[in-house]
Structure 1
Amino acid sequence: MDFSENRNESSSNPYGLLLHSLSLIPISHYVIGFLVVFFVFLYNFLEFHFFENLRTGLRGFPVVFTYNSSSDIYNAVVSKCRVLNGRYLPTPWISSPHFQTCFLNFFGRPPVFSYRRELFHASDGGTIALDWLSSSDVSGAFHMNNVISKDDTTPIMVVIPGLTSDSASAYIKHLAFNTAKSGWNVVVTNHRGLGGVSITSDCFYNAGWTEDTRVIINHLHDEYPKAPLFLVGTSIGANILVCHLIFLILVEIYTLFRFLASDFIYFFCFYYFFQS
């Protein structure tokens, strides 16, 4: 009698049936399910691409980027970069960008060389370390103090590092060395307070601060007017570079607006003068 009553009560309570069914599942199955969910979360959180690469037969993916195929920059630079026109396949066992960053930091084996340091003093009292690596530094050619002459026409690549990176970072040294080895001069603009330089003003750097980039570019233009400048930004440095380009576009729009507005005002005054 009691058994039938309990059975009727449990059958009338769906939650009781659900809990009873869940209690029948072995704990090992719960552990396996939790591990599967955890590894799926970890795989996506760390941005692994191992299975995606397996799906392509370890051939990688084509590099996709937005550009204007009729621009001079594309024809002069981008079209000649084989890396941008090929396929990208990360190392399978470190196919996560976060693991790649850690691996490069500890096992990057950066090339051994010495920069030539120039301290740039901003108008607000801030100090920015400009670390130079000229093509003669890596080619073995002898130059007095390896100082670049004012009339030098060798292209200069300006590197803006990432958030906590400076010229001593492994990936920056690889980038600077390979670029200088190709015949270019390289200057790394260390952020304020980085590169072994103390903070000498009450202004620091951030992702939207482009004033330092502007004044350094103007400084390089004044010092080396015949050398073309190319800017490369990594991580937060790329963000600063994009903000700098947006600023230049806004300045051009503002200048054009002022020019058109002044012409309109001049025409209006001229028309009003003759009408009166």
Structure 2
Amino acid sequence: MDLIRSFFSADYWKPNLHFAESPASLSVKSFPGSTETSQENLQEFIEARCPSLFKQFCPTWWLFNGHLQTAYAVVGDFSKIDKVEYDRTFLRTLDGGTIGLDSTPPAAVRNLEDDAPIVVVLHGLTGGSHESYVRAILAPVCTPVEEGGLGYRGIVVNFRGCAGVPLSSPQLYSAGHTDDIRVAVLHIAKRYPNARLIGIGFSLGANVLTRYLAEEGTRSRLIAGCAVACPWDLVMNAEQLENRWFHRNVYSKAMARNLQTLVRRHAASLYKFPEHPLTQVLPEVLSVKSLALSQFDKAVTRVGGGSSPPFPFPTAWDYYVWASSHKVLADIRVPFLAINAEDDPIVQVLPVEAGGNPFVAFAVTKKGGHLGWFETDEKTGYVRRWLKKPVVEWLKAVREDLIVEGRQDMSTHVVDGFLKEVGRDDIGCKEVGKGGHVVGVEGEGGLLAGL
């Protein structure tokens, strides 16, 4: 009876917020536009500026569990909402790889000042700037202020081979490899030196963002981060995907099929490197009709999911241990908001304690699935994503009220045409051309969206 009462209670549907025992002290503006400052801890900062995190999220009645929420994120038609268009730029990395940066609003639509804040977005497993969850955030964030938006710039970092980005080296991407986002942020910061950069990652991209912020510490060029549906402990997730019949045959194989399709699409490019171990496993990988995710990671990701070292790994499980982000949460040194759902069928562990890190706030909803969070708009009756409300509030708060302190200033220089950070010569990038105009609602055919 008590369980039934709690289910119908408004408090039951409110997200659970987790903070360190002593949340980090932040310098903030005393009031909007003020030059005076005051001190607030992270919990006070969020309580004052992110009201959606303290109100109920009640899922649409016919999407009442994590499986249905996740399924709707994959099969739902979002082509007529949150339309976003981009200008594409290609970056070349030192190893010959290519990263695609999609920037919105396009220059032909609206020019922003160079100091306009920038939301740097990392997509999910085989996604890109076309994904509905990406557009759900960028549409309100990048809409002009006079039209009710925040007026920010959005830049999506499309991983190697994703969203139409060419594969120009025998290296892919993975949940643990951070050098591509590192050089992308380096390029963005150099291009817009007066802009605040705020990171947000979804699913696999959230894992990459978390690891990047942890590795950078006080050197991070991103002043804050937001991780949405981060997978955290890849070992535990893989075990559940392997050991449950439904999870193995639905989620694991769906993700592996997407990755297999992505590799097949770039097979001709990979065959230009016949001696590379990744190329040598292609015939076997592409010939199998039904792969599990761990089988794909065993054959491909552990070999070509990043630079050497640490790649290749002896097994997929060694890669999972290395790439997991839950164990590095304690090292983040910028304000960081994580949002997960309890009923996410893909994510098994939620490290809400965050290693006691005072810079981390962890919000957990009862429902929402993986990259879902669909609710019914009481005014229109249409299904909408609840997620955009707290995320937009967070992005607005860290841009408008947070005073950035304690950041280390890192110098850069150009060596042989590549932009590098002084003191680190192993990574760098250079712009190698434009990719034209990209319409965000035009998804990548042949791949399941929403993952």
Supply the distance in 2 between the matched residues of 1:250 and 1:82 (Cα, whole angstroms).
28
Q: Using the TM superposition, give the Cα deviation of residue 227 of structure 1 relative to its aligned residue in structure 2, in angstroms.
A: 0.3
Distance 1:229 1:164 in 2: 24
Which amino acid in 1 is paired with 2:141?
A: T
1:170 aligns with 2:132: yes
Given candidates 35, 40, 62, the residue that maps to 2:15 is: 62
The gaps in structure 1 that reach 5 residues or longer are 1-51, 138-142, 254-276
* Cα shift at 1:153: 1.4
Cα drift, residue 112 of structure 1? 2.6
Partner of residue 93, structure 2: 122
Question: Do residues 183 (structure 1) and 151 (structure 2) align?
Answer: yes
Counterpart mapping for 1:1-276 below 5 A: 55-57=6-8, 59=10, 60-66=13-19, 68=23, 70-72=25-27, 74=42, 79-109=48-78, 110-134=81-105, 146=110, 148=112, 152-181=114-143, 182-249=150-217
SS of aligned partner of 2:176: coil
Q: Work out which of the two has the higher radius of gyration on C-alpha atoms and give 1 or 2.
A: 1
One-letter amino acid matched to 1:166: G
* Separation in structure 2 between the aligned mates of residue 124 and residue 84 of structure 1, nearest angstrom: 42
1:162 alignment partner, SS class: coil
Tell whether the 8 Å contact from 2:177 to 2:208 is kept in structure 1 after alignment: yes
8 Å Cα contact 2:82-2:139 kept in structure 1: yes
The answer as to whether partners of 1:161 and 1:190 remain within 8 angstroms in 2 is yes
Per the TM alignment, residue 191 of structure 1 is displaced from its structure 2 partner at its CA by 1.2
Distance between the aligned counterparts of 1:172 and 1:154, measured in 2? Answer: 19
Deviation track 1:116-170 (CA, whole Å, cap 9, x = no partner) reads 1111211211111111112xx6xxxxx6564555xx2111000101112211111
TM-score, normalization: structure 1?
A: 0.62
* TM-score normalised according to structure 2 size: 0.39
Q: Which moved more, 1:219-228 or 1:104-113?
A: 104-113
Conserved? CA contact 1:108–1:171, under 8 Å? no
RMSD: 2.9
Contact conserved, 2:84 with 2:138, CA < 8 A, in 1? no
For the structure 1 residues 69 and 239, does the alpha-carbon distance in structure 2 shift closer, same or farther, using more than 3 Å as the test?
Answer: same
Q: Which has the higher contact order (CA 8 A, sep 6+)?
A: 2
CA shift in 2, pair 1:183/1:54, >3 Å:
farther
Contact 1:157 1:184 in 2 (8 A): yes
Contact kept? 1:128, 1:192, Cα under 8 Å: yes
With 80-89 and 164-173 compared, the bigger mean Cα shift is at 80-89
| CA-CA distance at 1:245 after TM superposition | 1.4
User: Equivalent residue of 2:62, what SS?
Assistant: helix
Q: What is the distance in 1 between the residues matched to 2:66 and 2:173?
A: 25
Equivalent position amino acid for 1:154 in 2: A
Greater helix fraction, Structure 1 or Structure 2: 1
Q: Report how many residues are paired.
A: 194
Q: Which has the higher strand share?
A: 2
